Structure 1
């Protein structure tokens, strides 16, 4: 598997919350560090995603915003 995106973060699927059309997939990438992705239910089925499975969060963005209090 090769991607042009440089930000490929390996983790474990912690939860999948399925809605009517989309699913929220939560990947734990480190202890107490999670990334959340909203993808179609069709993609969840095609990738055969399961809780406990290793997966990659692949981030491809032209902008990354930073905020502070």
Structure 2
């Protein structure tokens, strides 16, 4: 996966907490640090995010996005 965003870090999903419309995804990155991203519940389901999923965290000054390999 190639992305134009330069601030990328890989990690492992530690938890996915789904609400009615949104999901909070906790991702552990190098050094044991944990990032939390709020995404739509539909996106979490489309990406099939679950504990142990490997993801790429994309950080923009105003946004944080997640990507998974196809």
Is the shorter-chain TM-score for this pair beyond 0.5, marking a shared fold? yes
Task: List, as ranges, runs of 4+ consecutive aligned residues in structure 1 with deviation greater than 4 Å.
Answer: none
TM-score (norm 1): 0.82
The correspondence of residues 1-69 of structure 1 with structure 2, limited to 5 A, is: 1-61=1-61
Q: Which structure: larger Rg?
A: 1
3-state SS of 1:55 partner? strand
Q: Which runs of 5+ in 1 are unaligned?
A: 63-69
Counterpart in 1 of 2:67? Answer: none
Aligned residues: 62
Give the SS at the match of 1:48: coil
Deviations 1:21-43 (A, max 9, x none): 00000000024301110000000
Secondary structure at 2:42 match in 1:
helix
Please provide the CA RMSD for this pair: 1.2
Distance in 2 between the 1:33 and 1:25 partners?
14
